[in-house]
Structure 1
Amino acid sequence: MHECHFKKAKFLNGNKIDKKTLIQYTKKVFVNQTAWIENGVKAFDMCVDHCLMYVDDIRSAFDTHKFDLKQCDPMYMSVETCAFMHLFRNCPVSDWKDSETCNKWKAHLEMCHDEEETIVMLNNVTVEQMKEEGLINI
């Protein structure tokens, strides 16, 4: 899914992530929202570099969990997850939703940058909890 998103959005130049296009897209999404633009640019700039530095470790970690690397490269998921975590940790105060779930997430992300642990935590937050706290409306 993440790899498909990167391809369809043209965030790739050949097989490499085109950071410039990704950052331009971020600026377009957050138009007129200076704090989010700065946060998004910083997130993708840092996350692409970080994930490229550890690409072999990322692929190796997922390969051991019977993840089919031929079908889907976890690099793209890692970049998006890293950016999400950065954006969430650095949410502008004016947009912050002060709820139990959000505060737990923020505390977790400030303390731990482990992607696998974060995915486990995400799976433990129920849709009902998110509805009760007004985080989603479905």
Structure 2
Amino acid sequence: VLAAIAKKSIKEVSYHKRFSGDWIKRLGDGTEESHNRMQEAFDNLWTFTNELFLMTADDTAMVEAGVGVDVDGLKAAWTQEITALLTEATLTVPDLKYFLKGGKEGIHSEHMGFILTEMQYMQRTYPNMTW
């Protein structure tokens, strides 16, 4: 079952990677307005990207049990790929030395409460709803 889910996930992730990459290129290399907005978005959000590759104690335990992925090992390939994409989109990779962390361990700013409230609206308004 897990292998089937993984196989389907690879197809889905490939599609979304291609789709979002096309939009990054289209907007980054588009008008001056779209370029500036895309660059500002990357500048504002880049500080969170390093956490994708931080290993928590739980992540390490999963790797040791043979059922997890050592995400730290994915960073070099991701950096190379995202740099190529941003370059093609005429965008600049933000030059940050400090990255935020803690989200994987449940440490969030007060903004998380507002985000969760928005995301949970339908289920709270219509409990047990089905599509």
| TM-score normalized by the length of structure 2 | 0.29
Q: Which has the higher contact order (CA 8 A, sep 6+)?
A: 2
Work out which of the two has the higher radius of gyration on C-alpha atoms and give 1 or 2: 2
| TM-score normalized by the length of structure 1 | 0.28
